[in-house]
A = this chain, B = another copy of it.
């Protein structure tokens, strides 16, 4: 990660795995991450923070307990703190995530999909 211009498409070319957010920029104590999403994640919540999803490519469904939120390119949604959610995508999605540093992707759920965030 450099402190210079971040080209989102170029960053996406640097990794291919799903559900493994990559850190591309810091803003104070917040982190901008890029993630490739395909298939279904795990139900989880983040007790201490909201979480922003901005879709860059593809169609992302963020399942909530009472409804689904569907995002296409150029659309964003903020999952409020404490709200259970489970992202799902039938095709591949490229998304930008924004949240405070140190947030674990699987929140309170843990499990095999818990990712160690690396910088690219």
Q: What is the number of residues of chain A that contact chain B, defined by CB distance less than 8 Å?
A: 31
State the CA gap A77–B80 with chains docked (Å): 26
State the CA gap A98–B52 with chains docked (Å): 12
Main SS class of interface, A? strand
Contacts of A74 in B (CB 8 A): 7-9, 56
Judged by a CB distance under 8 angstroms, whether A75 is at the interface is: yes
Judged by a CB distance under 8 angstroms, whether A3 is at the interface is: yes
Q: Which of A13-59 contact B (CB under 8 A)?
A: 25-28, 30, 32, 49-52, 56
Question: What is A's interface to B at a CB cutoff of 8 Å?
Answer: 3-9, 25-28, 30, 32, 49-52, 56, 69-71, 74-78, 80-81, 98-100
